[in-house]
Amino acid sequence: MVWHAFMLNPRFMRSLCHKEILYRLPMPWEKIHEAIRNRDWTFTLKDADARCFRDETGLHADLLDEFSTWADTVGTPLTPFVGFSVPRKPIVGHEKALVQKYRDHFAWADKDLAAKLKDAVVRQSEFVDKMNNHLWIRSPALGGTLSRAIHRYGDFLHLLRLCPGRTIVPTLDIDLVWHTHQCSSPKQYAEAMEDMVGRFVNHDDTIAKDSLREGFDFSQSLWHVHLGTEYRVCGCWDCEALLSAVDDLQAKEEAGVATNMEDVTNLSLEVQKVVTYYRAVEVSVRAQRRLPVMRDEASVARF
Ligand SMILES: [Zn+2]
């Protein structure tokens, strides 16, 4: 999460790391995907990976887990962990050496950088919450949502190129693609922006709320004038599934496949059925119940 939040502040990352290997490293998405259990989103490193981290650094692979039990060992509770309901163990024997080792690490660390990265993580966690609220990752229209977002990101970059002196504020779907692009690797991102926008583009998530609102209104007007479509998207499963179904129908027509009024009429009913099924699946997953079965599998396969 710290690395991820660091990448999402590309100017900051470039100023500190442009000569470091970190500047050329992409986020290892496949490895991260493998470590996440998609039923409950828990993150667990493989034993071999955790061991490798411990051997290389001498640190515990899950520092959050390690530190959250330490409040009593360092005198005062560590602020970020106040409220954690984990049992706090008293410090004993060999652990004293461990605590000292972490203290040495903290003494050696760049505290200004650490504070900035902590703030960046807090800001990113707000974005993660918004993503989690939309739950696109479990939506029946995930593929369509991402395709449309990537397409809209291209248009967003066009607006950035047009208005170098202005703050262009992305919508949530565009921001998701922008974030992902920044995680390709800071070097690749910087080069791609030079190509596509004609300059380095920072992703500044420290802008005050008022300026952000003003920037969003300007971006929305600019989008309307240049693209002639809606800038803000609802993003709910129903709207996204309907948009995907309409996209599919349009693609069929463009490919010369005849469609009729019946296809259009059936569209919204079919979308409703599929979204209802996906909701039932999500409810069952959360309640740890058996997953429901959809009788008309042809409908599900369409999305
Ligand atoms: Zn909606």
What's the pLDDT score for residue 193? 97
What's the pLDDT score for residue 83? 39
Tens digit of each residue's pLDDT (9 = 90 or more) over 237-273: 999 999 999 999 888 888 888 777 777 788 888 999 9
Which stretches of 138-293 are DSSP H helices?
A: 142-162, 172-182, 186-197, 209-227, 237-254, 261-287
Give the residues of the chain that fall short of pLDDT 50.
Answer: 73-74, 76-87
Q: Which residues pair with 42 in a beta bridge?
A: 37
Token pair listed for 114:
């650490």
Token pair listed for 116:
């900035």
d(CA 64, CA 67) in angstroms, rounded, equals 5
What's the pLDDT score for residue 70? 64
d(CA 231, CA 172) in angstroms, rounded, equals 10
What's the pLDDT score for residue 102? 76
Neighbours of 138 (CB within 10 A): 14
Ligand 1 center to 128 CA (angstroms): 20
d(CA 265, CA 164) in angstroms, rounded, equals 45
Ligand 1 center to 239 CA (angstroms): 4
- For Cα atoms 137, 301, 36, give the angle at the middle one, nearest 5 degrees: 25
Ligand 1 center to 220 CA (angstroms): 18
Ligand 1 center to 174 CA (angstroms): 17
What's the pLDDT score for residue 301? 52
Length of the chain: 303
Chain centroid to CA 24: 20
